[in-house]
Structure 1
Amino acid sequence: MLQAARYLLGSPGASGFGSKSTAEEVTAACPDLGSLTAIITGATSGIGAETARVLAKRGARVVIPARSVKAAEDMRARILAECPGADVLVLHLDLSSLASVRAFARRFLSLGLPLHLLINNAGKFSHGQLALSEDGVEMTFATNYLGHFLLTKLLLGRMVETAAATGVQGRIVNVSSSVHGWFSGDWADYLQLVTRRKIPYDATQAYAVSKLANVLHTKELAARLQEMGADVTVNCVHPGIVRTRLNRDREGLVTDLVFVLLSKLLKTIPQAAATTCYAAVHPRMAGVSGRYLADCNEALTSSAAASSSEAARLWQASEDMICASSSQPDRNII
């Protein structure tokens, strides 16, 4: 009840920020980001675009990977129109394709650039019938989680190297959702669904489980990073509810009616990008890892998302899925 009241009022939490804070506000007191390189998936529209705009405005080099290179180039042009000196790089990436993820990682690593920030923001909501990626994985899970899982593994070595060489701690931010708590059912049963097993398909549950996977990934990765002594943190964020392209994909009269009724409660895109930017660059988050944030403050997850055993099981299942998609083992450090 207190959390709901704080959200409605926009009251700041322990961080000094709250639901009404914007991405520009939470980064205003940050040191110049001119030495940082950030990869931000899903940065052609919505929350990802605002995250890219604000980090570029603060001086960071921003890499925009996108399935539509034209959309990414358009976003680059918008950033440069506001910040003429910004350093923005566009590369192709289709997160639903593990081959594309591998190609993107090879291309980025070949550039010899450092990597300080990895923001796994891209997401989609599939409606209708079950659709599979080219790797035979349910499309929402493939895009929202599995592609990011492989991307993180392939880029982590560069992040660890960058942190060691520069003394600047690397940060990974996984964008999840409070919807992760909507998943109900047997986790193992769902992992069989995402690899072709014929059981009833529910698009909302598919989205919820992909967001649950983001939280569990954060938990297990944080433990592994600590064990290896890497100067890289990983945290997970719930941006809040905002009418972005993602939820506009949820067509229908009921969806439209809900958004009309809740319009006064929805965040603006600058507000929704605040928690991502806070986790990525705010000094208060230095050394903080394995946390779940909402409204720029630590928040509670569902009981399923708090399970270390489920996090480890998901990691192994993910390893099995990415190994099955390639005849050659991936080169990574974790």
Structure 2
Amino acid sequence: MWIFGWKGQSGFSARSTAEEVTEGIDAAGLTAIVTGATSGIGVDTTRVLALRGAHVVMAVRNVEAGKKLKESILKEIPSAKIDVIQLELSSMASVRKFATEYIDSCLPLNILINNAGIMAPPFSLSPDGIELQFATNHVGHFLLTHLLLDTMKKTARESNREGRIVIVSSDGHKFAYSEGIRFDKINNEAEYNCYRAYGQSKVANILHAKELARRLKEEGVNIMANSLHPGEIATNLGRNNGLLNAISNSFIKYLLKTSSQGAATQIYVALHPQVKGVSGEFFKNSNISETGTAPAQDEELAKQLWDFSMKLINT
């Protein structure tokens, strides 16, 4: 149970905060993108990356909220380097616009943290006609990673520093449909279950990281890709679901992780020297963990998802 703070091999536990897992780490000279930077654990991820010296690009839906967070962080950390660029992950046009703007800026890219997500909303389709959770949690991040990969490869090559792609999944992947990914029923409203569809998108996050890691290793590229479960956190992730929103605002919130504890694992995977050379793994509480379900470990399903996703983003 997380509240007991049992430490894993890394020396950290579920109670560790983002500040604690990065203590003594100098991220100066690194440039990182954080999606969903103005909400939940994205806020602490952005702040601690800046605190450790990284140049952080906040990829956010609400630019005004991004600017306010930037101002807040600069008051605390006057030396922080932060930029704000608009990104709506559910729209492939927006993802392409963001990527073009980023590439045109000529900034390097050492770390990509695919943090943003939505959870268990009523059935709806994205602007591209894809079930909203799958579109936002997986397809948007898949496309973003695809478009920025050459920039990351160039940065890793020229800087001689390992690049890291961090994909935020969830233990919620265990509640996915039995097939893991329902390729032929992604947009089937009649059989839609908001919780299982969320789980499906989280399985996709894990499989994306695994297949990307395999391909990068095969190519001999110095970029690592990993996925993670941040923990049960008191955030507004369930804002689109009345039941989840009520639970997260009840007494149960006192049993959940704080935002800083929730951000710890992705910050650990993004920055810690212990993760150097580690790729294709699933992390929990700042330690490598088993996913625990067959679909999330299925290499053939990962390859099938890759091909399916490529077709989606190329249409």
- TM-score > 0.5 by shorter chain: yes
Quick one: distance in 1 between partners of 2:247 and 2:31? 41
- 1:193 aligns with 185
Deviation, 1:74, is: 1.2
Quick one: distance in 1 between partners of 2:24 and 2:79? 21
Quick one: distance in 2 between partners of 1:263 and 1:273? 16
- Contact 2:114–2:141 (CA under 8 A) maintained in structure 1: yes
Pair 1:179 & 2:172 matched: yes
Amino acid of the structure 2 residue aligned with 1:153: H
How well do the aligned residues superpose, as a CA RMSD in angstroms? 1.5
What do residues 51-109 of structure 1 show as CA deviations (whole Å, max 9, x unaligned)? 00000011100000111111111111111111112110111111000111111101000
Task: Give the paired residue count.
Answer: 314
Structure 2 counterpart of 1:297, from 264, 270, 287: 287
What do residues 162-207 of structure 1 show as CA deviations (whole Å, max 9, x unaligned)? 011011100000000000011133345x22232x445321111111
- 2:18 aligns with 23
Deviation, 1:278, is: 0.4
- Contact 2:177–2:197 (CA under 8 A) maintained in structure 1: no
- Contact 1:193–1:199 (CA under 8 A) maintained in structure 2: no
- 2:57 aligns with 63
Amino acid of the structure 2 residue aligned with 1:144: N
Pair 1:235 & 2:226 matched: yes
What do residues 219-250 of structure 1 show as CA deviations (whole Å, max 9, x unaligned)? 10000000000000011110000121112433
Quick one: distance in 2 between partners of 1:10 and 1:107? 42
Quick one: distance in 1 between partners of 2:225 and 2:115? 13
Amino acid of the structure 2 residue aligned with 1:51: T
**Aligned residue runs from structure 1 range 139-178, under 5 A:** 139-178=132-171
Aligned residue for 1:245, secondary structure, equals coil
- Contact 2:60–2:86 (CA under 8 A) maintained in structure 1: yes
Structure 2 counterpart of 1:136, from 122, 129, 150: 129
Pair 1:276 & 2:266 matched: yes
- 1:249 aligns with 240
Structure 2 counterpart of 1:213, from 188, 193, 204: 204
Q: Which runs of 4+ in 1 moved over 6 A?
A: none
Amino acid of the structure 2 residue aligned with 1:316: D
Aligned residue for 2:231, secondary structure, equals coil
Deviation, 1:126, is: 4.1
Quick one: distance in 2 between partners of 1:116 and 1:249? 33
Structure 2 counterpart of 1:265, from 225, 235, 255: 255
Aligned residue for 1:44, secondary structure, equals coil
Quick one: distance in 2 between partners of 1:47 and 1:305? 24
User: Identity of paired residues, percent?
Assistant: 45
Return closer, same or farther for 1:248/1:99 CA change in 2, 3 Å cut-off. closer
Q: What is the TM-score normalised by the length of structure 1? A: 0.91
Quick one: distance in 1 between partners of 2:88 and 2:24? 34
Aligned residue for 1:249, secondary structure, equals coil
- 1:314 aligns with 305
Aligned residue for 1:237, secondary structure, equals strand
Return closer, same or farther for 1:260/1:67 CA change in 2, 3 Å cut-off. closer
- Contact 2:36–2:61 (CA under 8 A) maintained in structure 1: no
Quick one: distance in 1 between partners of 2:143 and 2:163? 18
Quick one: distance in 2 between partners of 1:45 and 1:186? 31
Quick one: distance in 2 between partners of 1:199 and 1:320? 24
Deviation, 1:134, is: 1.1
Quick one: distance in 2 between partners of 1:257 and 1:115? 38
- Contact 2:180–2:295 (CA under 8 A) maintained in structure 1: no
- Contact 2:236–2:245 (CA under 8 A) maintained in structure 1: no
What do residues 111-156 of structure 1 show as CA deviations (whole Å, max 9, x unaligned)? 111100000000012422x210111100111111100000001101
Aligned residue for 2:237, secondary structure, equals helix
Q: What is the TM-score normalised by the length of structure 2? A: 0.96
- Contact 2:247–2:253 (CA under 8 A) maintained in structure 1: no
Aligned residue for 2:84, secondary structure, equals strand
Quick one: distance in 2 between partners of 1:191 and 1:259? 35
